[in-house]
């Protein structure tokens, strides 16, 4: 009798879990939702960025070498390849040299070698030159958006199918909890959830192997890491992040020095806030200028966007910009967890590559080369897995035997050292850089997760930021216009609140609504509602897909999900 | 009956436009291009007419550089049956477009020609009217509603005009240009995008069609509109009158 009852209970829970894993809520069994089209590929890659495209290209190269073919499909939520790509970028061609050694002859948009490398410590009025800790010889100042565009063309030449404008919104599983592909968003749903005239059901893109290359804090990647406990499995700490806000300016000819690289530390950020700025001279009189702020900042009144506007007025920075015009604006979060935060990147049916896993080298401030290499290694493992039934876990071994591992291991203590403050951090970094070079067994741990680091508002006072002057500094709507961001406005907001009451009950009273300050797109605004109370208004249409809110919300109440494909920023020179 | 739809590749409507430093035009390099929104609406209307059984085929036509083929593929993905690309690397002004279109109409003999009312890059609003003139066909421009009566070979078009809606009845073959409220274009689905790769696109050059492209317009200069000056809060009516008279010179 007891055996029967326990068997009955077990099978009931199995039924529920099978159903929820195959993404069919129990209620849907009884209604007539149109069945989705299903398209089968050998390899499905989510995200046409450096990692995803490197993986795609490598797969096709392996096919050629082995006289076989695999169908490879890359899905990209941006309206075109490169539209959602934003990075400094001082590019180290190490991985590209391995992937496409003829890149120069093939006219890759990598034409501006680094010509000088400066490092300044800023105070409010001065810039103190320090020895540059970087070695950028052999590197290039590029627009990653343009490079990715070029890589997309190369991938298509090799037979990769790339579909921009399609957002992968869900993972598909089989009855054994193995990932069998992704589902794209339904399109044409109105704000209230009803179907519009042009409603279009999403499609299922199934793959024998699924590679997730969504960039930092990828929405599906985060889901997968939680589901399969990948951080624990890899013995990893939590990931830590920074928010980068960037503009591309076209400046006066006389002020332009192609290949000049400048990094700064110090002002406008305080001693407790890690971050710094960059100014890179590209070609065509264009410069890339930005501020990177670590998201474990404590003061909830901090506004990274406004700090960036302040930076542009610094007497050492201002001269470059005077007489120039802003061409584009954008923002994106980046990983700072480095070696300590690398999750186990393989799951049943696929793997995570690039910044979605997190291979950025923080002291070098470079992540493109490691992202690309991780894509290539995953492709090699995937090729073996799909073609010969080999184990995909060889990707993990390949990572640990590659230069990615070596590089990230050496760089592992720089960022964690700053949890003790700016000066101790600099001192420890100096020690690491000039003497120890990572050759010791100590591995510092990270501080608190970014969202837990925010202090209550009562411990700080509001920061007064100067008004923008419209010439060097600008208000958010003006900057946003320059990001070419747009979303179909009549769609359900893609920023979901797990508990709709928390903003007014916690974020506003306890933390003074930090989301209204760290979001570089003014998505979160508290507006006057009835009874003179303030209510959260989500301007989802402004979203730059940077993921800062998903990371920094104190109660982790904000969940970034993917909107209708084709929306979001339109970066072309970022 | 065949329907021919023209679609133009233009700078995407969400992109921030910049004028080139030499003032000869706007920056198009590395800028996102898309199908002109009014052309999307035109194509959507043609597809709906075909889906209601009143037309046999929808042909999408685009004129421009080789990248126009991408725009044609989007049109094919939405549901057009085949495409025609007329390759031309210089800018084509409405009269040249209309002349080329006339030749294509003579080849394909469609019963209905649907165009967007204007392109969002030049805002000309001329091509539809010109082709109707060249073909001597009736025209229903700024259409907000189109109803086809196949038996009587008549199309009823509601036009959005300044003082309201004007309803016209046109004998086929006719030219229609579409306005914003006519319909909401469908999304091109992934399976359709994949299928569109194998739909045929026929290529012509203006020379093959015996059309001489000569530019009857010359762009002298392109400048940004003057920056809007910030407003000033005045303290009294007298100050307002003073400013209107002496600064703005409007009274």
* Nearest residue of chain B to residue A328 (CA atoms): B16
Nearest to A572 among B32, B183, B193 (CB): B32
Q: Does A163 touch chain B (CB under 8 A)?
A: yes
d(CA A315, CA A251): 16
> How do the pLDDT tens digits run along chain A, 574 residues long?
544 444 444 444 444 444 333 343 433 344 456 688 999 999 999 999 999 999 999 999 999 999 999 999 999 999 999 999 999 999 999 999 999 999 999 999 999 999 999 999 999 999 999 988 888 999 999 999 999 999 999 999 999 999 999 999 999 999 999 999 999 989 999 999 899 888 888 999 999 999 999 999 999 999 999 999 999 999 999 999 999 999 999 999 999 999 999 999 999 999 889 999 999 999 999 999 999 999 999 999 999 999 999 999 999 999 999 999 999 999 999 999 999 999 999 999 999 999 999 999 998 999 999 999 999 999 999 999 999 999 999 999 999 999 999 999 999 988 888 888 888 888 888 888 888 877 888 899 998 999 999 999 999 999 999 999 999 999 999 999 999 998 988 999 999 999 999 999 999 999 999 999 999 999 999 998 888 888 999 999 999 999 999 999 999 999 999 999 999 999 999 9
Q: Judge contact between B7 and B62, C-beta under 8 A.
A: yes
A163 contacts B193? CB cut-off 8 A: yes
The secondary structure element, H or E, covering residue A140 is strand A140-141
Q: How far is A133 from chain B (nearest CA, A)?
A: 34
* Nearest residue of chain B to residue A486 (CA atoms): B14
* Site from B16, B45, B182 to mutate, A interface, most A CB atoms within 10 angstroms: B16
Q: What is the pLDDT of residue A423?
A: 84
B194 contacts A484? CB cut-off 8 A: no
Chain-centre distance of CA A239, in angstroms?
A: 12
d(CA B156, CA B147): 5
A146 contacts B184? CB cut-off 8 A: no
* Site from A35, A197, A256, A481 to mutate, B interface, most B CB atoms within 10 angstroms: A197
β-sheet bridge partners, residue B61 = B6, B84
Q: How far is B17 from chain A (nearest CA, A)?
A: 9
Q: Does A450 touch chain B (CB under 8 A)?
A: no
Provide the H-helix boundaries in A495-560: 502, 508-511, 515-518, 548-552
B190 contacts A39? CB cut-off 8 A: yes
* Inter-axis angle of helices B37-51 and B68-78, nearest 10: 30
From residue A559, how far is each of A43, A418, A549, A562 by CA, in Å?
28, 28, 8, 10
All residues of chain A having their beta carbon less than 8 Å from the beta carbon of residue B185 are 198
All residues of chain B having their beta carbon less than 8 Å from the beta carbon of residue A184 are 190
All residues of chain B having their beta carbon less than 8 Å from the beta carbon of residue A188 are 187
All residues of chain B having their beta carbon less than 8 Å from the beta carbon of residue A37 are 189-191
Nearest to B186 among A200, A325, A570 (CB): A200
Q: How far is A46 from chain B (nearest CA, A)?
A: 15
Is the backbone peptide bond immediately before A89 cis, with ω within 30 degrees of 0? Answer: yes
Which of A78, A54, A513, A51 is closest to A330 using CA atoms?
A78
All residues of chain A having their beta carbon less than 8 Å from the beta carbon of residue B183 are 197
* Nearest residue of chain B to residue A202 (CA atoms): B189
How would you class B31 by CB atoms within 10 Å of its CB: exposed for 0-12, middle for 13-18, buried for 19 or more?
A: middle
Calculate the dihedral angle through the C-alpha atoms of B191, B196, B198, B200, rounding to the nearest 10 degrees. Answer: 160
ipTM over 0.90? The verdict is no
Nearest to A484 among B16, B187, B193 (CB): B16
A184 contacts B194? CB cut-off 8 A: no
Q: Judge contact between B72 and B62, C-beta under 8 A.
A: yes
Nearest to B30 among A146, A325, A485 (CB): A146
Q: Does A187 touch chain B (CB under 8 A)?
A: yes
d(CA B92, CA A437): 62
Q: Judge contact between A53 and A155, C-beta under 8 A.
A: yes
d(CA A571, CA A545): 12
* Site from B11, B13, B14 to mutate, A interface, most A CB atoms within 10 angstroms: B14
Q: Judge contact between A46 and A213, C-beta under 8 A.
A: yes
d(CA A151, CA A82): 10
B191 contacts A37? CB cut-off 8 A: yes
B191 contacts A39? CB cut-off 8 A: yes
* Site from A36, A164, A190, A203 to mutate, B interface, most B CB atoms within 10 angstroms: A203
Q: What is the pLDDT of residue A33?
A: 63
Interface subset of A 316-355, CB within 8 angstroms of B:
325, 327-328
Question: Which stretches of chain B score pLDDT less than 50?
Answer: none
The secondary structure element, H or E, covering residue A373 is helix A368-388
Residue indicated by tokens 């960022």: A415
A572 contacts B14? CB cut-off 8 A: no
Q: From chain B, which residues contact A within 8 Å (Cβ)? A: 12, 14-16, 18, 30-32, 34, 183-187, 189-191, 193-194
First and final C-alpha spacing in chain B: 60
Q: How far is A547 from chain B (nearest CA, A)?
A: 22
* Nearest residue of chain B to residue A482 (CA atoms): B16
Helix H, strand E, coil C: the string for B151-185 is CCCEEEEEEEECCEEEEEEEECCEEEEECHHHCCC
All residues of chain A having their beta carbon less than 8 Å from the beta carbon of residue B193 are 163
Q: How far is A544 from chain B (nearest CA, A)?
A: 14
Provide the H-helix boundaries in chain B: 37-51, 68-78, 94-108, 127-135, 190-196, 237-246
All residues of chain B having their beta carbon less than 8 Å from the beta carbon of residue A573 are 30
Q: What is the pLDDT of residue A426?
A: 85
* Site from A83, A198, A469 to mutate, B interface, most B CB atoms within 10 angstroms: A198
A481 contacts B190? CB cut-off 8 A: no
Nearest to B191 among A203, A327, A572 (CB): A203
Rg (CA), chain B: 21
Q: What is the pLDDT of residue A16?
A: 41
Phi, psi of A89 (to 5 degrees): -140, 125
Q: Does A502 touch chain B (CB under 8 A)?
A: no
Q: Is the pTM of this model over 0.95?
A: no
Which of A157, A390, A118 is closest to A262 using CA atoms?
A118
* Site from B27, B30, B74, B227 to mutate, A interface, most A CB atoms within 10 angstroms: B30
A161 contacts B187? CB cut-off 8 A: no
A83 contacts B184? CB cut-off 8 A: no
All residues of chain A having their beta carbon less than 8 Å from the beta carbon of residue B227 are none
The secondary structure element, H or E, covering residue A263 is strand A260-266
Residues of A serving a catalytic function are 87, 332, 368, 519, 543, 546, 549
A187 contacts B16? CB cut-off 8 A: no
Q: What is the pLDDT of residue A32?
A: 52
Q: What is the pLDDT of residue B213?
A: 86
d(CA B94, CA B108): 20
d(CA A153, CA A148): 9
Phi, psi of A439 (to 5 degrees): -90, 65
Q: Does A182 touch chain B (CB under 8 A)?
A: no
B12 contacts A570? CB cut-off 8 A: yes
| Residue A154: CB atoms within 10 Å | 18
* Nearest residue of chain A to residue B33 (CA atoms): A80
β-sheet bridge partners, residue A163 = A75
């Amino acid at each position: 009798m007891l055996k029967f009852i326990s068997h009955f209970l077990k099978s009931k829970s199995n039924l529920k879990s099978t159903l929820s894993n195959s993404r069919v809520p129990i209620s849907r069994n009884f209604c007539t939702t149109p069945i989705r089209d299903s398209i089968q590929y050998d390899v499905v890659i989510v995200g046409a960025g450096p990692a995803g495209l490197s993986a795609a290209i490598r797969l096709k190269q392996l096919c050629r070498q082995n006289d076989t073919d695999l169908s490879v499909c890359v899905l990209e939520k941006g309206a075109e390849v490169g539209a959602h790509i934003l990075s400094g970028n001082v590019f180290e061609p190490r991985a590209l040299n391995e992937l496409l050694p003829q890149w120069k002859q093939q006219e890759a948009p990598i034409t501006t070698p680094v010509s000088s490398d400066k490092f300044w410590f800023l105070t409010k009025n001065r810039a103190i030159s320090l020895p540059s800790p970087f070695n950028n010889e052999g590197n290039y100042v590029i627009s990653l958006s343009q490079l990715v565009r070029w890589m997309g063309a190369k991938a298509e030449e090799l037979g990769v199918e790339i579909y921009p404008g399609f957002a992968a919104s869900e993972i598909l599983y089989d009855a054994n909890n193995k990932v069998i592909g992704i589902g794209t968003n339904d399109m044409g749903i109105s704000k209230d959830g009803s179907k519009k005239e042009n409603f279009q059901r999403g499609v299922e893109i199934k793959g024998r192997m699924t590679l997730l290359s969504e960039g930092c804090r990828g929405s599906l990647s985060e889901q997968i890491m939680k589901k399969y406990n990948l951080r624990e499995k890899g013995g990893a700490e939590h990931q830590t992040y920074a928010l980068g806000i960037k503009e591309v300016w076209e400046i006066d000819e006389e002020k332009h020095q192609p290949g000049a690289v400048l990094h700064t530390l110090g002002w406008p950020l305080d001693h407790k806030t890690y971050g710094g700025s960059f100014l890179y001279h590209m070609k065509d009189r264009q410069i890339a200028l930005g501020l990177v702020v670590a998201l474990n900042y404590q003061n909830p009144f901090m506004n990274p966007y406004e700090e960036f506007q302040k930076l542009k007025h610094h007497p050492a920075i201002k001269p470059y910009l005077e007489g120039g015009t802003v061409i584009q604006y954008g923002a994106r979060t980046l990983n700072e967890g480095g070696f300590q935060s690398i999750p186990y990147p393989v799951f049943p049916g696929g793997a995570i590559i690039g910044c979605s896993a997190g291979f950025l080298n923080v002291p070098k401030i470079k992540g493109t080369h490691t992202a690309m290499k991780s894509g290539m290694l995953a492709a090699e493992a995937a090729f073996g897995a799909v073609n010969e039934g080999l184990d995909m876990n060889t990707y993990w071994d390949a990572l640990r035997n590659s230069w990615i591992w070596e590089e990230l291991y050496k760089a592992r203590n720089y960022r964690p050292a700053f949890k003790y403050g700016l000066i101790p951090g600099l001192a420890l970094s100096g020690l690491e850089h000039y003497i120890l070079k990572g050759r010791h067994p100590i591995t510092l741990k990270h501080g608190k997760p970014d969202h837990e680091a925010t202090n209550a508002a009562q411990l700080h006072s509001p920061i007064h930021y100067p008004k923008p002057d419209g010439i060097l500094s600008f208000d958010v709507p003006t900057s946003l216009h320059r990001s070419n961001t747009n979303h179909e406005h009549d769609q359900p907001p893609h920023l979901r609140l797990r508990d709709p009451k928390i903003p007014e009950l916690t974020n506003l009273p306890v933390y003074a609504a930090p989301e209204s300050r760290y979001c570089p797109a003014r998505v979160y605004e508290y507006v006057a509602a009835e009874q003179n109370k303030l209510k959260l208004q989500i301007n989802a249409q402004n979203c730059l897909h940077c993921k800062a809110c998903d990371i920094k919300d104190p109660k982790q109440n904000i969940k970034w999900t993917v909107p209708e494909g084709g929306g979001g920023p339109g970066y072309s020179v970022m | 009956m065949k329907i021919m739809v023209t679609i133009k590749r233009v700078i995407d409507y969400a992109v921030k436009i910049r004028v080139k430093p030499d003032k000869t035009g706007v920056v198009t390099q590395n800028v996102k291009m898309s199908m002109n929104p009014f052309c999307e609406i035109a194509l959507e209307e043609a597809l709906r007419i075909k889906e209601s059984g009143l037309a046999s085929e929808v042909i999408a036509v685009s004129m421009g550089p080789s990248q126009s083929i991408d725009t044609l593929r989007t049109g094919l993905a939405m549901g057009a049956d085949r495409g025609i690309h007329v390759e031309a690397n210089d800018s084509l002004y409405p009269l040249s477009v209309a002349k080329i279109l006339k030749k294509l109409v003579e080849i394909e003999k469609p019963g209905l020609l649907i165009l967007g009312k204007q392109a969002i890059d030049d805002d000309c609003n001329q091509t539809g009217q010109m082709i109707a003139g060249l073909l001597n066909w009736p025209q229903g421009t700024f259409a907000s509603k189109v109803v086809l009566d196949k038996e009587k070979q008549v199309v009823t078009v509601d036009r959005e005009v300044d003082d309201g809606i004007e309803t016209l009845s046109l004998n086929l073959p006719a030219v229609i240009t579409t306005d914003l409220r006519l319909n909401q274009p469908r999304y091109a689905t992934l399976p359709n995008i994949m299928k569109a790769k194998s739909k045929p696109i026929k290529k012509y050059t203006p020379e093959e069609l015996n059309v001489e492209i000569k530019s009857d317009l010359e762009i002298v200069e392109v400048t940004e509109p003057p920056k809007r000056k910030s407003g000033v809060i005045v303290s009294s009516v007298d100050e307002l009158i003073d400013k209107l008279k002496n600064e703005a010179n409007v009274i």
